[in-house]
Structures are given as C-alpha cells and as structure tokens.
Amino acid sequence: MIFDLKQESQKSYFYYALDSETIFYEGNTLNATLNFKSDIEVISMAEELDINKSIFAVQNMTLTLKLYQDGILRVIINEKEINKDRFRISEHDMDASIVEEQLNCNKHKISDVIQQDGNKIILKTISEDQLDSYEYRIIFSPFRIEQIVNGYTTIIVNDKDTLYFENYFKFTQSFMTYKSIKDEIDLNKLEQDPIFKMMQDMPFNRRSKVFGNVQENSWLTTFYYNIVRKDIIRQSMALSFRINSEYLFGLPERSEKLLLGLTEESDPYRLYNIDIFPHQEWNNTGLYSSIPYLQAHHQDFDAAILWYNSAETWVDIRSHDQGRLTNFVSESGQIEFFLIGSAARDSPKRLSKLVATISGFQFLPPLYTLGFHYSKWEQESSAKRISYINDQFEEAEIPLDVLWMDLPHTDDVRYFLFNQRSFTDDDVIRMSKLIHQSERRLVLITDPHIKKDQNYFVYIKGNQLELREHQGEHINIFIKNDLNQTIVGNCWPGQSLWIWIDMNEPSVFNTPEGTMSKFAIHYNSEGKKLSHRDLHNAYGLMMSRATYYGMLNRDEDKIRPFILTRSVFFGAQRFSAKWTGDNLSTFKELSVSINQMMTLGLTGISFVGADIPGFHGRPSDELFCLFYQLGSFYPFMRAHGHLDMKGREPYLQDEETQKVIKDSILIRYDFIHYYYTLFYQASTEGVPLMRPLWYEYPKNLRAFKITEQFMLGSSILYVPKLQKGQKEQKQFFGQVVEVVYIVNCYLPIEDLWYNYINKQIQKDDNDIQILVLQLHEQAIFIRGGSIIPIKMHQNKLSLLRLIRLPIKLEIYLDRNQQAEGLLYLDDGDSFRYQTHNESSYIKYAYQNKTLTYEIIQTDSYYPQAIELKIAQISVFGLKFKPSSYDILTDQLKINDDNSNLDYLHIHDDHEHEDETLHNEQRSFQERKDFKVKGFNSEEYFLMIIKNLDFTVDDGSRLIKTRNLIKIQ
C-alpha cells in the first residue's frame, strides 16, 4: 500500500533520516540511529504537536552496517526501543544460512575506508583481485544507500522512502475493547500524522479494500480492533530498492520464466513455502521453497540483494526509467540484507562466488549421485520388489545408479522402521547384498512427520526427552501451539508430531494452505520461544542441516552424506540436493523445469532436478523420450512417479523408448568427469552447473531473454526438444511419414561451436538457427576453445562399474587454434580430499600445436589417479593437415604403429555421410571417406591419436607444467 502510494504520488508523506550524531564505528561495523520524519512541505505544522511521529510506525531504529571482503555490505535495521527482540534468522540458525566464518576471514576496518562529505558518508573499498572498486554512499536525510561498482550506480536503497516498521504494540493488548481503542485515538493528532494523512488520501475504494468498507475515521478503530482480536503482534516491515537494470532474476521457487516480470497488474511475488500438488505450469505462485534473492543483470554489471528474512515475504517489481523499482515486505522480524555487485569481466560468475561466500558453497556430492536415480511411489513395496527392479534394469541393459524406496517401505508410515511383512531381516540382507554387488546404492525417504503412536520408539523417545535440561542445553523435541501443547497435525502417518528432520515446507494436510500454523511455537536450545511465522521458510533448511550432521555423526565423518530435500532457503546447498516437487507429465513442464533450475542455480542451489517424466500424469512415448533426454542434462537426474501412474519403469517401455532412455544416460556417462569437475568448481567458486546463456555471455543482449536452452558449465550448450514432433512426408519408394522436431537454436557468435555427436563446426551466424531433429537425436554443442574429458564407459550399467575405465581428451579448437579444460579427481565418496589432500586438479591446454597439462593444486594428489589412463586424444578444428606428432614426455606410452594417427578433412563443400564419429566401434580405416560439412571458407582437419596409455597424474610435483604432445 505504502509502496503504491509513494510511487504514484509526488508526495513523500514521511521518511527516515540518519542522525549523524549517533554514528559510531569499530572494526568493520558502523552503527547509527534512524529517526522518523514527516514531510513538512505536505503536512501543515502545529506548534503544540510533534509532527515527526506516527502512531503507525516505529519512531527510532538502529542501523548496523558491516563491510566485508569484495565489497559485500550487510545491513541490519531493527527497532531501537519498544520491540527490540524481533526475530532475525541469522541469530538462530546455527550458521546454516550465513557462513560467518567465511565472511569474517577478511573484514575491512571502517576507519580505513570511510569519508564524510556533508549530508553523507562514503565507504570505498576494492576487491581482493583489484578488478572491482566499490563505493557505498550512505545519505543521511532522507536515508539512502547507493551502491556504485566501477563507476556504475547499480542499486539505490530506499529510493522511494518506503522504509517502514509497523508499530501496533499499543493496540495489541488482549483487554482492549472497541471503545477503549476509539478513546485512545486522538483525531486532532491524527490530522497531523503523516501516515494517517497518506491513508486519508487513498481513494475510498482502495482504502475500503485494505481496511474494510467503513466511512470516515471509523475504519481505523475497526482496523485496530481486528488486530486485538487476532491476538498477534503485527510487526511487518518494508524497504524499496531502485535497480538500474530491467533484467531481474531470482525469487524462487515458482514454475515461472527465468526473467522476472512486472507486478503492476498482478499480485506481488509471494515467498511462502506451501505444498502444491501438482503445481501448474507458467504460474508465479510460490511453491515449496522461498529464497528472497534478487539479481540484476546488465551489459556492464551484475548486482544482487539477499533479503535475509524467513517469514512470509512479498516482492513488488515496477518499471522505473531504464530499470526497476522493487519493494520487499516481510510479515515479521528485523530487516537484514546484503548488497553485492561486480562490474568486472565475468561479473555473473563473480557474483555467484559472493553469494557462496555469504550463504555457503555447494557441497561436493558423492560421485554415484551424479548418475541415474530411479524411484516410484507404489501401493506396496518389498525387498524382493526392489531386487526385482534391479534385475530388470540389468536384463534390459539400462544403466542405473541409485534405487529409491518411498513410503511403503516403512512400518505403517513409522519412519526408521521397515515393514516387517515385506522387508524381513533376511530379505533386507539379500536385497542389500544384491544392490552392493550390482555396484549401486539405495536411498530411503523420511518426512518430518512423527506418527503419534504409543508403541513407536521415536515418539516414545521424543516424549522422554521433552523439555529436559541436558548439560545446560534445553531439549524440546516436538513443536507446540501457543498454549504450549504439542501440535498434532495430519499427514501420511495420520496424526503426526513434528521434529526438525520430502514434505518439509512443512506440509500439514488439515490446514487452509496445507502447511503449519503461523502460531506454532518452536524452542531453541536455550529454551527461548520462537514463533513459526518468523522462521517458516527456513524449516526445510534446518531439517537438511540436522539430517546432514546426523549422518556425519553416524558415519564418523568418513562418508559424504547424500540428502534430497523439497524445501530450501539460503544455505541449503551446503547440506542437500533439491528437486522441484510434484510436476506434471506435460510438454510445458520441460521448459518450466529449465527455468526453475536456472533460477535456483543463480541463488546458489546447484544440485537440482525435476521428476522424470513428470510426477503426475500419463506421458506418451514421445514425452517419455523427450523428458529423459532433457533430464540427462539436469544436475540431478531422477525418475519418479505418483502412486496412480502405472508402468513408469524404463524397462517396460517399447524398444524405441528404451533405446532413447539408455542412450540419454550413456551420454551423461560420457560427460561424468566433466560433471564432477563442475561440482568441484561449484564447491570452490560458487558457480552453478546449469546456466542461462547470458551467464557465459554477459554482454550479449540477445542472450538475455533466451530461456529454453542452457549452458552446462562453460563448455556445453544444450538445446532441448520441447514441443511435440511434426509429421513430415518424404518420397522414398512410396510415401513415408516421419516425425521431426523443429528446434530454434541460438549459438553466440563470440565463439565457434561444434556438434558433439557428428563433430560438425556450426554456422557462424548471430541469427536464430532452425534445427530439424529426429526423436533419437539431441542438439549438444561444444564451445570452441574447450577440452572435454570423455569417459570411455564401454556401456557399463553403473558409474561405480566404470569409474576406473580410461578417458579420452576431446579438444575443440577456437578461432585462434587454442583450447583448455579442467579435470578434477578424488575418491568420490569420502572427505579425504579435505582431510588428507587426496585430490588431483589438472588443467589441460592446447596452443602452438602443443598439448600441455598443469597441476593446479601442487599440495594435493589423488593416489588412484595413477591408475586412470588417457587412451585417446582427438583434436577438432585444425586449420592445417597434420602429418605426425611428437611425444614430449616419458609418461606417455603408445603402441608404435600407423593406426595411432588418424586425420580427417573438413571443408564447406562436403556433405556429411551417414556415419558419425560417435560410433566408437568403427575403425578409422572404415571411415576414411567420412566428411563433415563446414560453414565458412576455411578448411578444417581432425586428428585422432589412439591406443595411448597416459597416466592422468603420476604424483610427481617437481614440475608443475608439462608438455605432452606436439602436432606436426
């Protein structure tokens, strides 16, 4: 309401001013007081009244600024006097959402960077690598904060003076009556109250919509009386941000486009975790997660706001000049937010690292979790059924890495207990042995609902521990209502209690929005009461944190936990993977899933996937295929289906569909080292795996609105088939009807692009290209200048079976005949990469016709890397016809015969034939005449060096960089 009026009106009505006399700074922290002020140009003055007050707003607030490395600014605003104990999530989440240790490792002294200039103070600092200079201008009156990065003004805080803290404390006593409230309201004073004046200026129809259909001033008494009746202290707050870009992203989770739209003609974006089954496509309704992160992208900079409030929050986005005006409103708590920005090269990636510095870096997942997961909610399950599914995948020769067990594995939905009828001890032992021998893994579901059952050991133990003191720590297990009675809700187990441990929004079936009451009470370890409305959106985060550390404790810190959650908040990437919940088996969901995952990735949540081929619905064979093809490029690949959706097993599909599924998983296996290296980069640099085009091409305006293709890391561009195929008739010994897929594809002109399957160099054109694909074909492009480690997996049926098989290096040259790529290795399971420096991180580079490798981390070494061999090196896009090669290191062994060297001629006059280089079983001699179509006047050649036996890392650290091969 305030945001609307202040945007529409030229009047300010009220604002806050920083009292310069209260400024105090120490270390990296600056403190001051903000005071409420009325707009004296609008409000007529009366000597006997203090017009710089309002009964609606907090009069005095504390302002805290903290300046960290690389220009990170933290801002905290709270009441100074009446309600100083407002909730702040970062004070209660045990460092789950903010990693204070990372922030505090390089703090700036305010005294070293501060300048005072009349009505403002200026904080100036520079990034550690000196590529970004930061200037924060804190203007006293009206209060503003301006962020300036490398000379660009990126964000202005409180540009429209919407900073506002509700103050209804006086009217929240339960003994207040309608008459006593009316007596408390002094209409003479109200006439000089700036906020009352603003409300009076509202059109009657709008005011009645907000406060009720009442005349004159009785609306105010009625409004206050309703507050008393609700018996809850209203303490909402608001703050606006002017952002100098029209391209805004973030605010997950919703099934909406990546690029955020305007809310001028709609409700603001709501951030409040709820369980929606199933969620609808292209809808801005908030879903299972709420991350109040807003990123602006511009050709010259990236900047972001991290709004750290876990209560219900609304975000308005309006047009404003060449940018956007946004307003955040949260129901309760304090204001706490971070400002970050970069205007250097690769500014999106630099911003991602700043996000990770604040909220934590992506956990490095176990290697097997990057494979294919199969899950199905069924009416009944058993150890024999799980074993049968495993055997059927083997018989159909469809790769599989993880089997999941849903609700039916439990004893009457009592989690942590197997159903003893279908999971006898002997059957479980045989099942576990089979899965282990198949080199696969099992995952079990746990929801946050504890069945109210006097014979259930978890319920019994929880009651025994309730409200006890243990070594000075307050123990409280189950969530309470406002009368301190244990809440009993309804979910899968029936009547359920709740702990911090899929349905973790948290979901409660028998409530208006299917989630927990805002009046519920939590207790922290000190016995302090916390209202659920304050922390609702962080419930799933805290469940993930508790589960993560519980698993660490169980496994004695030896094995990396793997956890999947449906609900996330800032910081969840440190503990769990995430899936997008109850999606539909529709063609629209293909595109929706891409937008959802790219949005989550920008907020730091990288390990994410959507249920394949949609959780609910009956997909056609065609949709089945398209979902698996796209899903093989999700960071997290899992098939899952609803109870009523029968016949979802891949091995039950027709022959063509099975082949598409198998080929899709095997292509994922091709890139498994590339995936794992990307996850390592996410864990150290904060970059997402799945990226919008503008993330890699930040100055390419055409890329800003493209949302139906994406980058996987920096080197792979994937263009999925998202629509039904079209029937096309061909004349070939009669009429033949063929289904083809018309796909729009944009390949940024800044780079060369190669088709991964047939190695074609693609058209050098900045226009949208039209691809015509068949059902089994995929549009996978490799960026020129990349070196990709490809797993020679021999069609093995799980990642754990193939991980020691050789790799081949595929070198895709750019226009300057150069390329580089990375390879990260560790045991894929333990923490020895951290505790014992057992990892190898290698950079391969090709330039001046020479391939080299460089050990990036010379203080670490993965011992088993000596067993991993490079068996083949392929170079694509050579501008000369190679005749031979020289070995430049004694670590490279080859069989000395003519079959080692292959080369192909690529020229724009030739059409490629039926054969493709992807067929590993054909020798070069059989495809001597294989030709590839080029798209420019230059000639290109391909060289393949086979039968190599090159150790990836022999452990020697005497020489950091080595030359491997020189092409002649």
Note whether residue 611 is domain-resident: yes
One domain for residues 60 and 158: yes
Note whether residue 904 is domain-resident: no
More confident site: 924 or 201: 201
More confident site: 593 or 232: 593
- 195 burial type by CB count under 10 A (0-12 exposed, 13-18 middle, 19+ buried): buried
d(CA 517, CA 852): 61
Residues 87-122: pLDDT tens digits? 999 999 999 999 999 998 777 789 999 998 889 999
- Reported as a pLDDT band with limits 50, 70 and 90, residue 898 is very low
* Section 268-280 average pLDDT: 89
Note whether residue 872 is domain-resident: yes
One domain for residues 428 and 459: no
* Section 784-794 average pLDDT: 97
Q: Does the pLDDT value for residue 553 go beyond 60?
A: yes
d(CA 829, CA 552): 13
505 is catalytic: yes
One domain for residues 376 and 426: yes
Percentages helix, strand, coil for the chain (3-state, rounded to 5) are 25, 30, 45
* Section 945-963 average pLDDT: 86
Number of Cβ within a 10 Å radius of residue 375: 22
* Section 392-396 average pLDDT: 97
More confident site: 515 or 837: 837
Beta strands in 223-371 (DSSP E): 237-243, 247-250, 269-271, 293-297, 302-307, 313-320, 323-330, 335-342
Q: Which residue of the set 502, 534, 589, 810 is catalytic?
A: 502
What does the DSSP 8-state code read for residue 902? E
User: Which structural domain range is residue 525 located in?
Assistant: 449-499+505-531
Note whether residue 760 is domain-resident: no
Residues 726-752: pLDDT tens digits? 987 666 566 677 899 999 999 999 999
- Reported as a pLDDT band with limits 50, 70 and 90, residue 823 is very high
- What's the gap between Cα 756 and its chain centre? 27
pLDDT, position 923: 30
- Closest listed residue to residue 533, CA positions, set 309, 337, 224: 309
Number of domains the chain is built from: 5
On the CB side of 117, how many CA atoms lie within 13 Å of its CA? 10
Note whether residue 831 is domain-resident: yes
More confident site: 914 or 81: 81
One domain for residues 405 and 519: no
Q: Which residue of the set 256, 316, 453, 505 is catalytic?
A: 505
- Reported as a pLDDT band with limits 50, 70 and 90, residue 322 is confident
pLDDT, position 654: 96
- Reported as a pLDDT band with limits 50, 70 and 90, residue 3 is low
* Section 778-786 average pLDDT: 97
- 768 burial type by CB count under 10 A (0-12 exposed, 13-18 middle, 19+ buried): exposed
* Section 561-580 average pLDDT: 95
Q: Does the pLDDT value for residue 189 go beyond 70?
A: no
582 is catalytic: yes
* Section 621-648 average pLDDT: 95
Residues 669-689: pLDDT tens digits? 999 999 999 999 999 999 999
Note whether residue 696 is domain-resident: no
pLDDT, position 32: 97
Q: Does the pLDDT value for residue 911 go beyond 50?
A: no
- Reported as a pLDDT band with limits 50, 70 and 90, residue 502 is low
Least confident of 298-302, 814-818, 945-949: 945-949
Is 158 in contact with 165 (CB distance < 8 Å)? no
pLDDT, position 925: 29
* Section 22-49 average pLDDT: 77
- Strand-pair category, 735-745 with 726-731: antiparallel
What does the DSSP 8-state code read for residue 845? E
pLDDT, position 913: 33
One domain for residues 833 and 937: yes
In the predicted model, what is the mean pLDDT of the chain? 86
Q: Which residue of the set 135, 427, 582, 589 is catalytic?
A: 582
Q: Does the pLDDT value for residue 158 go beyond 70?
A: yes
Q: Does the pLDDT value for residue 796 go beyond 50?
A: yes
Alpha helices (runs of H) in 157-272, residue ranges in sequence order: 178-184, 187-190, 194-200, 204-211, 218-230
pLDDT, position 914: 33
* Section 24-35 average pLDDT: 95
More confident site: 365 or 449: 365
Note whether residue 478 is domain-resident: yes
Q: Does the pLDDT value for residue 928 go beyond 70?
A: no
More confident site: 227 or 127: 127
- Percent of the chain predicted with pLDDT > 70: 84
Note whether residue 730 is domain-resident: no
One domain for residues 397 and 306: no
Give the end of a domain, one of 344, 375, 405. 344
Residues 652-673: pLDDT tens digits? 999 999 999 999 999 999 999 9
425-437 and 383-396 helices cross at what angle (nearest 10)? Answer: 20
Number of Cβ within a 10 Å radius of residue 468: 11
Q: Does the pLDDT value for residue 171 go beyond 80?
A: no
Q: Does the pLDDT value for residue 230 go beyond 50?
A: yes
One domain for residues 617 and 628: yes
One domain for residues 412 and 521: no
* Section 596-619 average pLDDT: 96
Alpha helices (runs of H) in 383-423, residue ranges in sequence order: 383-396
* Section 844-860 average pLDDT: 94
pLDDT, position 281: 87
Q: What is the DSSP string of 575-630?
A: T-EEE--S-BSSHHHHHHHHHHHHHHHHTT--SEE-EET-SBS---HHHHHHHHHH
* Section 831-854 average pLDDT: 96
More confident site: 48 or 614: 614
* Section 181-194 average pLDDT: 69
One domain for residues 117 and 217: no
Q: Does the pLDDT value for residue 931 go beyond 50?
A: no
d(CA 905, CA 926): 15
pLDDT, position 500: 33
Q: What is the DSSP string of 463-522?
A: HHHTTEEETTEEE--S-B-TTSPBP-EEETTEEEEE-----TTTB-TTSTTSB--TT-EE
Q: What is the CATH number of the domain that holds 824?
A: 2.60.40.1180
Q: What is the CATH number of the domain that holds 624?
A: 3.20.20.80
pLDDT, position 186: 67
One domain for residues 212 and 245: no
pLDDT, position 549: 94
Least confident of 79-83, 711-715, 937-941: 937-941
pLDDT, position 462: 87
One domain for residues 218 and 107: no
d(CA 78, CA 62): 5
Q: What is the CATH number of the domain that holds 296?
A: 2.60.40.1760
pLDDT, position 327: 96
* Section 35-39 average pLDDT: 88
- Reported as a pLDDT band with limits 50, 70 and 90, residue 4 is low
pLDDT, position 727: 82
Q: Does the pLDDT value for residue 470 go beyond 80?
A: no
- Strand-pair category, 769-773 with 402-405: unpaired
One domain for residues 549 and 651: yes
* Section 778-790 average pLDDT: 97
